[in-house]
Chain A
Amino acid sequence: MGPFWSWLQETPIIYTIGKTDYLYDAFSVLHYFSVFIMVGTTGLVDLRVLGVGAQRQSVAQVARQFSPWIWTAVVVGIVSGFVEFAPGASSFAPDPIFEIKMVVIVLAIVCGLMVLRGAPRWSELPEIPVVAKLLAVISMLLWLGAILAALDFSAFSGLG
């Protein structure tokens, strides 16, 4: 993958974005903002599955209401994240914390998808199944883990 990342870094458009502070910062703002929206709206659905908040609507209604925004934010988050990653690709890619972050994000998105897909079925049952609640908890924990992995973690090695 090494040569590929170097090639990506040298692509004229990526190189320009990396060297132009205001452009790079604009993508950072987009990334932060979309991640907040995504984690927040996913959390709202997860919390509703757990019986917290928005009690006037069913789980299915809450999921349907927020799913377009979750997916919009996922797409904006991935695109802006890629633009942030690309100018420093060869230093990001081999970093184990970065790799952990990517794996956790994929798992979190899959988990979120399962919650959104399950919601209409769960709503028809007399009670929300325990498996569904477990999935909602895992979804939230995965996002917390993703945020934690995204922070500056060199300090964290001190934990051993």
Chain B
Amino acid sequence: MHEALFGFCRWLETTPWGAPTRETMWFYPFVQLIHFTGLSLWLSTNVALDLRLIGVGRWRRTAAELARDLFVLNWIGFCTVVTGGFLLFSATATTYIQNGAFLVKLGMLVPTALVFHVVVQSKSRTWGRTAELPGVARLAGLIELLLWLSVVTAAVEIPSY
């Protein structure tokens, strides 16, 4: 299994998208830009809903309305992050899969936060019909916010491992 994964990563590094990201001087920052731009859209729309659920700030929209308002841009943001992230990973895949912080980030935190987000987003339709939210909704918002913070923390730690 490990050998197959490693072989896959080696192959990624030679692909027509992996190799140029690593070898072309000007391409890499633009790939990072794609990743960060997507992150801005993805995280800000996630956190907006989380804060609305927690009940911080003066929102004029119910959580259900906000979830619906932001739905499309939220997932456009997600696709953009994944595209940029996949290119960054392809460039030096064999190094990434040996990095502890990266494994924690992509193997554990991102899947957990993502599943949590999907649940929170769909649950908001029922939780958020009224301005006052049930305790479970507030807790869910807080947990999702902390999960994304932990994802960013793991990402910041990648160069140190």
- Contact mask A34-46 → B, CB, 8 Å, 1/0? 0111111101100
- The smallest C-beta distance from B16 to any residue of chain A, in angstroms, reads 20
Which residues from B are CB-within-8-Å of A155? 25-26, 28-29
The total of Cβ contacts below 8 Å across the A-B interface reads: 99
Q: Which of B42-69 contact A (CB under 8 A)?
A: 42-45, 47-48, 51, 57-61, 65, 68-69
Residue contact A151 to B33, C-beta cutoff 8 Å: yes
Question: Do B44 and A21 touch (CB < 8 A)?
Answer: no
A144 lies within 8 A of chain B by Cβ: yes
- Whether A68 lies near B44 (C-beta < 8 A) is no
* Residue contact A153 to B47, C-beta cutoff 8 Å: no
A64: Cβ under 8 A from any B Cβ: yes
Is B114 engaged at the interface, CB distance under 8 Å to the other chain?
A: no
* CB of B136 closer than 8 Å to a CB of A: no
Asked if A156 and B60 sit within 8 Å, CB to CB, the answer is no
Report the interface size for chain B: residues with CB under 8 A from the other chain: 39
What residues on A are CB-neighbors of B33 within 8 Å? 144, 147-148, 151
The one of B32, B69, B77, B149 in contact with A33, judged by C-beta atoms closer than 8 angstroms, is: B149
A-B contact pairs, 19 of them (CB 8 A): A32-B152, A32-B156, A33-B149, A39-B44, A40-B45, A41-B44, A41-B48, A43-B41, A53-B73, A56-B69, A57-B69, A64-B60, A65-B60, A65-B61, A69-B48, A144-B33, A151-B29, A153-B29, A156-B26
* B residues whose Cβ falls under 8 Å from a Cβ of A: 25-26, 28-30, 32-33, 36-37, 39-45, 47-48, 51, 57-61, 65, 68-70, 72-73, 77, 148-149, 152-153, 155-157, 160
